[in-house]
Chains A and B, each alone.
Chain A
Amino acid sequence: MHEAPIINLGGFNIDLSIVTMLIVTSLIVFILARLAVRNLSVENPGKLQNFLEWAVEFVQGIISSTMDLKKGKAFVSLGMTIIMFIFVGNLLGLPFGIVTEYSEPGHKVFGQEIVSVNADAFAELHDKKPNEEHLEIGVAWWKSPTADASVSMGLALIIFVIVHFLGMTKNTKAYFKSYFEPFPIFFPIKLIETFSNFLTHGMRLYGNIFAGEVLISVLLGLGVASIPALMAWQAFSIFIGTIQAFVFTMLTMVYISHAIENHAEEHH
């Protein structure tokens, strides 16, 4: 597996590939959205505008399937940003990858040493494979940002914060009460459930996309013979990427609706 190009800048370990990919993903999403709304028209929308409107209606469909659309209108933008960001992020790693390989330590980017290929890393690798004389470490510069747990968990963290903030402010009583229902003894279980929701929300996305990329790099190792399998797997990965973007958005809306809905009202 490839290493991440991490440099140490002012005490922070900065993963350059993640920074790059986040910027690329955001730019693509933003440019796509801007192109779509460039010539906005009420009566004669262009192709891209139609596409984006279809996406908006799709997200509205997701929201209305989990909560009242009147309440959910405020989350359409959030859902659109999530689904577009994750969809683009998931697909970015599929068409190609950029990997640099290093056989000796001491490479620098922006005047900083790449931590993943420093002397320690080579020493560690040497310990793992003591028989090999020619050691190489591959550093991946281009990959899906969502194939990194820190990014997926970051997205899940945003949703986690939004969900619980909304629960605490908009639905305070019912929100806190829900931790002690149906019996107060359920509190620890509810707490675990809350955090496991947060964990699975991020890890599901990371696992799916990361696994796709791992299999792609494994298939690439087989050489020319792998092309049919690679094509099939890339097609499947497009499908997985779409599904995961949808699932992530869906779960976001489900969690939000759970947090803002007053369950006590329904029992009456």
Chain B
Amino acid sequence: MSFNWESTVFTLIAFIILYILLNKYAFKPLFSVMEKRKELVMGQLRDAEDNRKQASELLNEQKAALQEARKDAYEIIEQAKSTGSKQADDLIATAKSESNRLKDEAIRDIESEKNKAVAALRSQVSGMSVMIASKIIEKQIDEKSQEQLVGQYLKEVGDKA
């Protein structure tokens, strides 16, 4: 082994120059790129985390909205059911009152018709009885009795006057 101090000096010079050149032209840009990539990855991780949070929030919101919608739908159905039954009841009540009214009207009509018929019948019966009576009287009364009758009636009229 021989030690050559000039070689040591050359080594120092070569190493220092190499260090400076590498640092300036290779490592600095490389480190900055690695740093950038690190930041990029960190940023993307953060974004992913944010997105995940947002997604879960949205999911919860959607779940709540779905629940709300379900509740609304149930309420609407319930309401519809109650309105339906109420309407049916109304209809039935209206129909009942209508039918009652019609019945009453019919009864009244029947009554009045009956009365009219009775009245008509009564007047006809009286006319007819008069006619019958006059026919019978025409046949039965002779001159003498007729005179007697006239005289009676005249007497009656005279009494009253």
What number of A residues sit within 8 Å (CB to CB) of B? 45
Q: How far is the CA of A76 from the CA of B22 in the complex (A)?
A: 12
The dominant DSSP class at the A interface is: helix
Q: How far is the CA of A158 from the CA of B11 in the complex (A)?
A: 9
| Least Cβ–Cβ distance between A171 and chain B, in angstroms | 22
Query: A121: which B residues are within 8 A, CB to CB?
Result: none
Binds B, one of A28-36, A61-69, A256-264: A28-36
| Least Cβ–Cβ distance between A92 and chain B, in angstroms | 14
Option from B4, B34, B37 in Cβ contact (under 8 Å) with A15: B4
A174 within 8 A of B: no
Q: How far is the CA of A6 from the CA of B7 in the complex (A)?
A: 10
CB < 8 Å A-B pair total:
116
Q: From known contacts A26-B18, A33-B22, infer whether A153 and B3 are also in contact, taking CB-CB under 8 Å.
A: yes
The dominant DSSP class at the B interface is: helix
Q: Are A40 and B33 in contact (CB under 8 A)?
A: yes
Q: How far is the CA of A3 from the CA of B33 in the complex (A)?
A: 46
Q: How far is the CA of A52 from the CA of B33 in the complex (A)?
A: 12
Please provide the chain B residues from 27 to 70 with a CB less than 8 Å away from any CB of chain A in the complex: 27, 29-31, 33-34, 36-37, 40
B136 within 8 A of A: no
Query: A80: which B residues are within 8 A, CB to CB?
Result: 22, 27
A188 within 8 A of B: no
Q: From known contacts A15-B7, A36-B26, A80-B22, infer whether A158 and B12 are also in contact, taking CB-CB under 8 Å.
A: yes
Q: Are A15 and B27 in contact (CB under 8 A)?
A: no
| Least Cβ–Cβ distance between A61 and chain B, in angstroms | 14
Q: How far is the CA of A150 from the CA of B3 in the complex (A)?
A: 5
Which B residues have a C-beta under 8 Å from some C-beta of A? 1-12, 14-19, 21-23, 25-27, 29-31, 33-34, 36-37, 40
Q: Could you jot down 30 A-B contacts, CB within 8 Å?
A: A4-B2, A12-B6, A13-B4, A13-B6, A19-B10, A29-B22, A30-B18, A33-B27, A34-B26, A37-B25, A37-B29, A40-B29, A40-B33, A42-B33, A42-B37, A43-B40, A52-B30, A53-B30, A56-B31, A76-B31, A77-B22, A77-B23, A85-B18, A145-B11, A148-B7, A149-B1, A149-B2, A150-B3, A154-B11, A155-B11
